[in-house]
Amino acid sequence: MTRALQHLGFARMVWKEGNGAYRLSPLIAGFRTPAEQLQAIGAMDDDDRFDHPDFQERYEQQIEAYEEEKQAKAAERQKRLEPPIDLATRRRT
């Protein structure tokens, strides 16, 4: 997922449906009629609405968790780049 799509996902504006497929939130998606959009919005979970009282806080928490995960993965990759221990040299000392 590109960085832009990640942030749209964090903001619950898009949902990943599957292999490269995304679904827009009914709050921003286009519908054939206003009645269809109102029906889709009415069926939404309250946690997915942009006017949820904790919307901004949850968005920021998701970004923070993502950044922490990214740093942990980078640290793990860095550990693997360290040269292997030379056991023969250790035995001589």
Q: pLDDT 10s digit of each residue in the chain, 93 long?
A: 588 888 898 998 998 888 888 889 999 999 999 999 999 999 998 888 888 899 999 999 999 999 999 999 988 887 776 666 777 766 665
| DSSP structure class, residue 33 | S
| d(C-alpha 80, C-alpha 89), whole Å | 21
| d(C-alpha 71, C-alpha 76), whole Å | 9
Task: Return the residue matching tokens 């919307």.
Answer: 55
Q: Which residues contact 41 (CB under 8 A, 6 or more apart)?
A: 26, 27
Tokens encoding 36: 């269809």
pTM of the entire structure? 0.65
